[in-house]
Each structure stands twice: as C-alpha cells, then as structure tokens.
Amino acid sequence: MLLPETDAVLAVRRAVRAWRDAVGCWSVAVAVSGGADSLALTAAAAVEIPDVRALVVDHRLQAGSDHVARWAAESAQRLGCRESLVLPVDVVGEGGPEAAARDARYAALDAARDRRPVLLGHTLDDQAETVLLGLARGSGGRSLRGMTAWQAPWGRPLLGVRRAQTRQMCADLGLTPWDDPHNSDPAYTRVRVRTEVLPLLEEALGGGVAAALARTAAQLREDGDVLDELSADLLRRAGTGTASDEPGLSIETLATAPAALRKRAIRAWLAERGVSGLMNSHLQAIDTLVTAWRGQGGVAVAGGGPGWGLVVTREHGTLTLRSQPRATARRPTRRETD
C-alpha cells in the first residue's frame, strides 16, 4: 500500500524504521486490535519491514467481538500484511479483568508469533500513563522505567509517537479505527488516568507532562540498566552451594553491599526460583533478615503448590528459600543460631 507523506505518516514510519534498524529485524508479527495505534503501526510496518504477520486477539468479552477481530484481520491484510491470524482466548485468572485479559493476550501472541518479534502499539501517551500509575502505587524505580522499546520478543516502536499522531495517520489513510468501549470505561484505573488525571496535570502545569514523564522513564531505564548489571555481579558473588545443593545467598556478602544492589539481587534470586509478584513489604522484610537480624522467622512469598508454600529464611549465615507446609509457611518459626 502506498502511504501519503503527511506529517503523521512520516512520524510513525520513521519510528518503525528506527526500531527496525536498531534491532536488525526484517520479519515481525504485529498485534492488531483495530484501534488507531495498532492500525497505524501495522500500516507503517508493512511498508518498512518486508515480512509482517498480523495477530488479532479476540478476548471474547463483548458481543460481536469476533466480527471486530475479523475486520481487524482483514484491515491488516489490506494494509500489506502477508497474513492475518485471529486468536480467540478465554479470559480467566486472578488479578481482575485487566490483568487476566493482558495475560491471555500475551500468551496467545507468544504462541502464534512463530519465532518472530511481536510489535505492540504502545505510544508515548501509554508510557506516560504507565509511569504515572507506578508513581501513584509507589512501585519503585523498576516500574517507573516504564516500557522498553525492545525486550524480546516484544517490540514497541511507537514509544516516541503521540496518540494524536496515530489517529491522524489513520485519518490520512482513510481508516476508521475501532474504539474499544473498555478504553473509555472509568471503572478501569488506567482509563481515569488517561481521561482525567493526565489532562488535569497538563492544564495545571502548562503542558508537556506526558513527554516529561516519558523522558523520566528513559532516564531511569538507563540508570536501572547499570544497577541491574552491578546487582547481577553481586548475585554471582553472594551465591553459595553446589550443583547438587540448592544455592542460597551469603548474608555477609549481601550485608556489605549497598541497599539498592542488595534488594535487586534478592529480587532476581527469587525470580530465578519462580517467585513472582514480590511486594515491596515482602522485599523489605527479607532485607531485614540480612541487615537487622533479631531471631525473627522467615518471610512467606508467593509460589509453592497444594498444601505447601515458599519461605525465605536465614540459616547459618545464608539466605535460603525453603518449601514448608502451608500452615508453617503462614507462620514460619525457623530461627537461626549463628
């Protein structure tokens, strides 16, 4: 498809081209919802990247969602995609409908991408919303880094493009995007941030807030990458055990490290062992086992299985992850006698 050379079209094409050249990728899948962001991304990708497959996830949460999915798939092919696949999913799971839909969507995209990177239509405005939500929740520096342009297999070429530009590009192409009703439903926190909080901040602070939040994310990401490298080195130095013995972490090595590196190393160590969703209160309690030992019991963390849970304990100078019966995991009593 031959695209007009309007300002909006050129801005989106330049963003996709820059991502392509930086990653060195010439075959991709694009997640297409039918919204303005994904349609603009698809149109630009089909011109800038030789091999593009469209993946359309049908969450089946609304009547007629199958018709919308088929329309989005057909639109992607008209824009130049080599093929389009509709992926019906079942939205079930914990964490509320937003989290369940996101998990189902990413799982379906990952299964259908056929070793290709998957391009997602997140814009600068989405980045600003993500950073603002992280600030409000006190999620820490990792959350404030926002989304990254490339974290295999997910690519986000439009993080420097405004939502208004993707809408203008669709208008320039004669496309009428589909507006998901969920994107204007105030029951969702992100929608309220988008429609109420950010506009109020823009008005109160004289504009430029979204761009400033996105710049903050980029700066924190650079700093965070350095801290991650240093904490990975700390994790290697603190590791104990042998190949036949589940390794723990040396309390002495951890205790002498800066707090920022120590906590990152502990979080990474637990993630390697399948502990996800670690809350800040858990991390602080685990850090206290290292830096303020008073004989307290271990800290229960997410994970485990039927009848048993996971507990981080301090044992003879080592931070250890143990499996314990659920009753014990809720009130760990193990104490160390150093």
In this structure, are residues 104 and 89 in contact, taking their beta carbons and an 8 Å threshold? yes
* Pairing assessment for the beta strands 308-315 and 299-305 based on DSSP bridges: antiparallel
Q: Which residues have C-beta within 8 Å of that of residue 19, sequence separation ≥ 6?
A: 119, 149, 150, 155, 156, 157
Token readout for 38 is 């994904």
Across the beta sheet with 299-305, the strand order is 249-250, 318-325, 308-315, 299-305
Q: Which residues pair with 324 in a beta bridge?
A: 309
Of 177, 174, 169, 180, the residue nearest 44 (C-alpha): 169
- Classify residue 218 by burial, with Cβ atoms within 10 Å: 0-12, 13-18, 19+: middle
Annotated binding site: 33-38
Angle between helix 163-173 and helix 124-137 axes, rounded to 10 deg: 150
Alpha-carbon separation of residue 290 from 3, 234, 327 (angstroms):
59, 14, 24
DSSP letter for each residue of 254-314: HHTS-HHHHHHHHHHHHHHTT--S--HHHHHHHHHHHHS-SS---EEEEEEETTEEEEEEE
Annotated binding site for ATP: 33-38
Q: What is the DSSP letter of 140?
A: -
Q: For 294, how many CA atoms within 13 A lie in the half-sphere containing its CB?
A: 3
